[in-house]
Amino acid sequence: MKKQTTLALAAAMLLSGAAMASAESVKPMARDTLSLTSTQQKTAWNDINKTASNQSAPANFDVKAGAAVPSGVKISAVPNKAARDVPALRPYDFAMVQGKLLIVNPSDKKIAEIITG
């Protein structure tokens, strides 16, 4: 009986550890809208602006929330520091266009939020 209890406890511990590991690796889903606080926006700007290269907007591209980013605009993953400092940014990508930081949903390339310095 003691051996069965020990095996059951060991199995439960293994399963709970695996569940915790998989929960930590699950990346939150990006949406087409994002509402960062002004503090989060400032932090994101400071973390990303240092390394982002400013791009010109292609013709007929209106930089606004909900618009799809054209294929000619380079989109990059949000840097680790920005994702740590503002966890809501983890599932998003970004682009810097005309001095504006575009937070982009990577699945459909739509602008979820625009941050200006």
CA–CA gap between residue 74 and residue 79 (Å, rounded): 15
In total, the chain counts a number of residues equal to 117
Q: pLDDT at position 100, please?
A: 95
Tokens of 73: 């605009």
User: How is 51-105 classified by DSSP, letter by letter?
Assistant: TPPPBPPPTT----TTPBPPTTS--EEPPHHHHHHSGGGTT-EEEEETTEEEEE-
- 57-94 confidence digits (pLDDT tens): 888 898 999 999 999 999 999 999 999 999 999 999 99
- 26-63 confidence digits (pLDDT tens): 557 888 789 899 999 999 999 999 888 899 988 889 89
Domains observed in the chain: 29-116 (3.10.450)
CA–CA gap between residue 84 and residue 110 (Å, rounded): 23
Higher pLDDT, 20 or 2: 2
